[in-house]
């Protein structure tokens, strides 16, 4: 029911994912009068899904507290998340109200052991392909331990999504030198380096321009900076596209040049299209929840469902738990060794 277009985008988006992954089965939650006519247009999806009619749909402008109070247990959003909690679904995907989705997910699924707060991880197009950036808005402000948690979760997601054995991870900072940046960031970097985790390679500090370069597989930051970076990148992409359209229509010669170079411009547009890398992952919960951009088109929503499919198929939650447990064991061993040295 969420997003700018509701079932008119969500249902065909799900149908498109089904074409790519015919083994998936879907639970579709929504208002029957809005969803049933759209689902009827897709016979294959109708056969591969179960529709669960709901009494309430969370509005895009509802406050999280309001959505929890009014829609709890009845709304399509809550019931979709609850299906993950009960094991009826492996992953929940929604294009709905981000604040309400996060609030309900935290309330229903709870955070994993050793995780204080969840994060939203975004897939970021780069010159090398794609990277993961987190947090992009769930948690404003972070101490060293929270940045370490984000590092473990982001690395696990990279292994699940990109299927790389040992992804590279960097902490976003105002410089690459170890003496620069906030104390929390420097402390997190020191502790991660000391732990020497075998499941990922700690690259060190990265700067803002490394996001587009794809210097590392995972970029870790707190939610305020991450969200500003994300919105800036989206705005810059739209700005460049508008500049190009204006330049290509200015003169007859420019229009002819555009026709001759149309293939190259189409490839550039596809590379810059945020819908192609749609799907923010809520990390740190006892279940997988994917947030699609509210303005996503059919292909964009299908991309978000694809992300959920990859996360569930490749055992994201188990990978996060494995890394967290190993990190805390290593930190305990380092602390014991330090105590022995001090006592001697």
The label of the residue with tokens 């149908």 reads: 15
Task: For 5-28, write each residue's pLDDT tens digit.
Answer: 999 999 999 999 999 999 999 999
Task: For 121-162, write each residue's pLDDT tens digit.
Answer: 988 888 888 899 998 888 888 899 999 999 999 999 999 888
Contact 323, 148 (CB under 8 A): no
The label of the residue with tokens 């996360």 reads: 311
Q: 290 pLDDT band (50/70/90 cuts)?
A: very high
pLDDT given at position 238: 73
pLDDT given at position 72: 66
pLDDT given at position 302: 94
Mean pLDDT of the chain: 87
pLDDT given at position 275: 53
Q: CA–CA separation, 152 vs 255, rounded Å? A: 49
pLDDT given at position 141: 84
- Asked if pLDDT for residue 75 goes beyond 80, the answer is yes
In 3D space, the residue among 324, 342, 334 whose CA is nearest the CA of residue 194 turns out to be 334
Taking residues 260-265, report their average pLDDT: 68
Query: In this structure, what token pair is assigned to residue 23?
Result: 């083994």
Specify the range with the lowest mean pLDDT, choosing from 30-34, 206-210, 250-254, 272-276: 272-276
Question: Which residue segments constitute the domains of the chain, with CATH numbers given?
Answer: 1-110+286-313 (3.40.718.10), 112-226+277-284+315-344 (3.40.718.10)
The label of the residue with tokens 């040049």 reads: 257
Better-predicted residue by pLDDT, 84 or 331: 84
The label of the residue with tokens 């969840």 reads: 118
pLDDT given at position 273: 57
pLDDT given at position 304: 93
- Asked if pLDDT for residue 33 goes beyond 60, the answer is yes
- Asked if pLDDT for residue 223 goes beyond 90, the answer is no
pTM: 0.85
pLDDT given at position 288: 94
Contact 319, 163 (CB under 8 A): no
Q: Are strands 201-206 and 168-172 parallel, antiparallel or unpaired?
A: parallel
pLDDT given at position 63: 87
């Amino acid at each position: 029911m969420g997003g700018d277009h509701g079932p008119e985008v969500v249902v065909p988006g799900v149908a498109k994912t089904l074409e790519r992954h015919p083994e998936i089965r879907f639970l579709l939650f929504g208002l029957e009068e809005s969803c049933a006519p759209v689902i009827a247009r897709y016979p294959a999806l109708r056969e591969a899904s179960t529709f669960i009619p709901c009494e309430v749909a969370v509005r895009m402008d509802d406050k999280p507290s309001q959505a929890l109070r009014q829609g709890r247990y009845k709304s399509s959003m809550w019931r979709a998340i609850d299906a993950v909690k009960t094991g009826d679904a492996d992953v929940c995907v929604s294009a709905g109200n981000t604040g309400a989705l996060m609030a309900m997910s935290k309330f229903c699924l709870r955070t994993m052991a050793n995780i204080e707060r969840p994060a939203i991880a975004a897939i970021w197009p780069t010159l090398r392909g794609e990277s993961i950036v987190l947090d992009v808005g769930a948690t404003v402000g972070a101490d060293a331990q929270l940045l370490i948690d984000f590092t473990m979760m982001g690395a696990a997601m990279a292994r699940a999504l990109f299927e790389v054995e040992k992804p590279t991870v960097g902490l976003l900072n105002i410089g690459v030198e170890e003496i620069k940046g906030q104390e929390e960031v420097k402390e997190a970097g020191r502790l991660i380096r000391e732990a020497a985790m075998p499941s990922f390679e700690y690259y060190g500090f990265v700067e803002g321009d490394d996001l587009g370069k794809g210097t590392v597989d995972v970029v870790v930051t707190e939610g305020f900076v991450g969200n500003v970076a994300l919105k800036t990148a989206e705005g810059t992409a739209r700005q460049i596209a508008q500049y190009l359209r204006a330049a290509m229509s200015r003169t007859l010669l420019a229009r002819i040049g555009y026709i001759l170079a149309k293939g190259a411009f189409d490839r550039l547009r596809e590379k810059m299209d945020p819908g192609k890398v749609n799907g923010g992952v809520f990390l740190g919960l006892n279940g997988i929840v994917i947030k699609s951009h509210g303005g996503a088109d059919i292909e964009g929503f299908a991309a978000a469902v694809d992300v959920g499919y990859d996360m569930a198929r490749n055992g994201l939650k188990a990978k996060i738990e494995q890394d967290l447990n190993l990190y805390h064991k290593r930190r305990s061993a380092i602390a014991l060794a330090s105590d022995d040295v001090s006592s001697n």
